[in-house]
């Protein structure tokens, strides 16, 4: 499994902590930026992660900004991307099971490191259930 991860300045600290966590777990990942806590524009990093997911160079993405909203909106502009803003493990699991989410979005200013780790673990371990959810997911891309 390989991931792409990106954040703006508000998500930088959490991104760096999650990168260490991914390394500890032996999960290969690509850091798409930003690379410091200096002001950075979230769309740049949301688009970079989404492009990697769509190109198939990674299996999933993780994006982070202050509230999670802006970077989530940017990633979801790409046809084929289903980025899900998650603030706890249950929501992250449902995003995979019911929505076939391929990018996990985290609100850097509103989630603890421990909860973010739980979200990552569940997001990466769950799979899409299909069935009654399949038709709904197919309706997302116009």
- By annotation, the residues acting in catalysis are 65, 98
Rounded distance, CA 59 to CA 37, Å? Answer: 27
Contact 45, 34 (CB under 8 A): yes
Work out the angle between the directed axes of helices 113-125 and 12-24 (0-180°, nearest 10). Answer: 50
DSSP sequence for 80-131: T--EEE-SSHHHHHHHHHHH---EEEEETTSS-HHHHHHHHHHHHH-----G
- Cα 139 from Cα 132, distance rounded (Å): 13
């Amino acid at each position: 499994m390989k991931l792409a991860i990106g954040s703006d300045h508000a998500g930088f600290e959490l991104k760096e902590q999650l990168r260490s966590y991914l390394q500890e777990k032996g999960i290969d990942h690509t850091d798409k930026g930003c690379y410091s806590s200096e002001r950075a524009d979230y769309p740049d990093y949301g688009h970079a992660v989404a492009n990697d997911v769509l190109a198939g160079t990674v299996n999933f993405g993780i994006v982070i900004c202050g509230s999670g909203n802006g970077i989530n909106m940017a990633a979801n502009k790409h046809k084929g991307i289903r980025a899900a803003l998650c603030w706890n493990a249950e929501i992250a699991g449902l995003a995979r099971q019911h929505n076939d989410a391929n990018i996990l979005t985290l609100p850097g200013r509103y989630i603890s490191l421990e909860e973010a780790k739980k979200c990552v673990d569940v997001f990466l371990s769950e799979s899409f259930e299909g069935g009654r959810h399949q038709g709904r997911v197919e309706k997302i891309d116009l």
